[in-house]
């Protein structure tokens, strides 16, 4: 098994604090992208909305989440020991899996794959944000 990413929240407080810290970074990223795209002031004001910056913040948060990548056999062994919900997307007939475990929230998500671990990790991070963190962090 190996781990991609660095952030494993240990509590909702931990997750909220990281999410708050990312707000200025998201604003900076969006501003610099708009500059690189040669937006003038009018276009910037029209196109760069609070929703755009919030989407950047959500993507930054998700991109930092720790994801474990392992064999299906090792994942199934780990899964048997979990007393909480583990949501899995993908095929059961593949050899590998990427998963994010939010123990403090008593849930985990996983995406199976045969090839393309980067794609599975990206999918999993979006899924983790949407299924585990979005409601608590964004009130949605």
Tens digit of each residue's pLDDT, the chain (140 residues): 899 999 999 999 999 999 999 999 999 999 999 999 999 999 999 999 999 999 999 999 999 999 999 999 999 999 999 999 899 999 989 999 999 999 999 999 999 999 999 999 999 999 999 999 999 999 87
Tokens coding 91? 């095929």
Picking from 91, 100, 47, the residue whose alpha carbon sits closest to that of residue 72 is 91
The verdict on pTM exceeding 0.85 is yes
* Backbone angles phi and psi of 67, in degrees to 5: -125, 130
Give, for 101, the enclosing helix (H) or strand (E): strand 96-102
Contacting residues for 27 by C-beta, under 8 A, at least 6 apart:
53, 56
Integer angstrom CA distances of residue 65 from 3, 45, 80, 115: 10, 31, 23, 21
């Amino acid at each position: 098994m190996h781990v991609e990413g660095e952030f494993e929240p240990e509590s909702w407080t931990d997750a909220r604090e990281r999410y708050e810290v990312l707000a200025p970074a998201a604003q900076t990223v969006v501003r610099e992208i708009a500059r690189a795209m040669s937006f003038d002031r009018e276009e910037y004001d029209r196109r760069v909305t609070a929703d755009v910056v919030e989407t950047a913040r959500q993507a930054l948060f998700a991109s930092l989440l720790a994801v474990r990548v392992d064999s299906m056999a090792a994942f199934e062994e780990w899964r048997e020991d979990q007393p909480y919900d583990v949501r899995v997307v993908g095929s059961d007939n593949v050899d590998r899996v990427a998963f994010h475990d939010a123990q403090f929230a008593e849930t985990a998500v996983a995406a199976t794959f045969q090839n393309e671990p980067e794609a599975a990790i990206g999918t999993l991070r979006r899924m983790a944000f949407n299924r585990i963190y979005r409601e608590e962090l964004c009130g949605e």
